[in-house]
Amino acid sequence: MEAIWLYQFRLIVIGDSTVGKSCLIRRFTEGRFAQVSDPTVGVDFFSRLVEIEPGKRIKLQIWDTAGQERFRSITRAYYRNSVGGLLLFDITNRRSFQNVHEWLEEARSHVQPHSIVFLLVGHKCDLEPQRQVSQQEAEKLAAAYGMRYVETSARDAINVERAFTELTRDIFELVKRGDITIQEGWEGVKSGFVPNVVHSSEEVTKSDRRCLC
């Protein structure tokens, strides 16, 4: 059982369609890269534990939203209960970068009264030759909005862990400092349970418990 975690953070992943949101999440949660991926319908869900310090695990509940415009009204409803999010654009697609601003605006207006911590992700960084958005430019934009910037590739598994872990650490710090508090009726941050004895490895309990006959 993956019962032992300190907090659960709900993250939302947004960005234009086809920038690779689902692929990034799948790489992170399932450790694999799907060459072909159907467009997300509405929203899908993933979760994974992240160990931010030895013995301190955070459970990430990731809401993978559809980038397609037609689902926009659905995804709006999901911001409110998220504590953080990854905002993706495709470095080979300038348009997706230009839309970052719009995504942020939308998120900010729907997350009230809570705040949400975003991390800007330039995705598909393995496709360097087709790059249309420079790293500098993206970093500048991120800084303007007070976000971190990370370039990732789901295909080559570059910085995928880092993107999620850094966001998780940032949120964790805010929670520790009391800037973000657990609130009843808000799903963004949930408190877990600290066990008396921390198992050497979660895999011990997590192991496949189907009949091992």
Partner 1 sequence: MPKNAFTNDKITPTHPVMARCVVFHLLLTKKRSTRKNKSDQASGQKSSDVACRGSAQSADTHNTLIGLCYKMSDNEHPATDMQENIKGQIPKESPPPSQDVQSDSSADVAPTRKTRKRPENKPPPEVQESPGTASVAENASKASTQTTVTQGGWGSWGSWGKSLLSTATATVTTVGQGLSQVIEKAETSLGIPSPTELSGQMEKEDDAEGTIPSPSSSSEGKPAEGDGNVLGSAMGMLSSLSSVVQSTSKTVISGGLDALEFIGKKTMDVIAEGDPGFKKTKGLMNRTSTLSQVLREAKEREEQQTAKDVTSETEKKAHYGMLFDEFQGLSHLEALEILSRESEAKVKSVLTTLSGEELTTLRDDLEQIKESFSLMEFDDEEVDDPQVDDGESFVKELTDALKKLHISTTAERLGKARKNAFDRIMDMKIPSEAKQQQEDGSEHEATVTRCTVEDVHFSAITSLAELTARSIEQFHKVAEMLLHTSTDGVTALEQAKVLAQITVVLCKEISVLSKKFTACLATVGSNEKGEVLNPLITGVFLEASNSASYIQDAFQLLMPVLEVSHIESTADSSH
Q: Which residues are at the interface with partner 1 (CB under 8 A)?
A: 1-4, 41-43, 45-47, 61, 63, 70-71, 73-74, 77-78, 184-187, 190, 192-197, 199, 205, 209-213
What is the amino acid identity at position 118?
F
Cβ proximity to partner 1: between 34 and 77 the closer is 77
Considering the complex, state which of residue 45 and residue 143 has its C-beta at the smaller distance from partner 1.
45
Identify any residues that bridge with 10 across adjacent strands, giving them in sequence order. 61
Between 138 and 175, name the residue whose CB sits nearer to partner 1. 175
Closer residue to partner 1, CB minimum distance, 34 or 41: 41
**Smallest distance from partner 1 to CB 156, Å:** 27
| Strand-pair partners of 46 | 62
Give me the least distance between CB of 22 and partner 1, in Å please: 14
Q: Least distance in Å: CB of 179 to partner 1?
A: 21
CB of 189 to partner 1, least distance (A): 13
For partner 1, the closer CB: 98 or 205: 205
Burial (0-12, 13-18, 19+ Cβ within 10 Å), 90: buried
Name the residue type at position 120: L
48: part of which helix (H) or strand (E)? strand 43-53
Considering the complex, what minimum distance in angstroms separates the CB of residue 131 from partner 1? 33
Q: C-alpha angle 90/92/97, rounded to 5°?
A: 50
- Distance of alpha carbon 142 from alpha carbon 93, whole angstroms: 17
Least distance in angstroms from the C-beta of 109 to partner 1: 16
Closest CA to 160 of 150, 148, 172: 150
- The residue type of 24 is L
Q: How many CB atoms lie within 10 A of CB 115?
A: 14
Largest CA distance in the chain: 58
Nearer CB in complex with partner 1: 3/143: 3
For 165, phi and psi rounded to 5 degrees? Answer: -65, -40
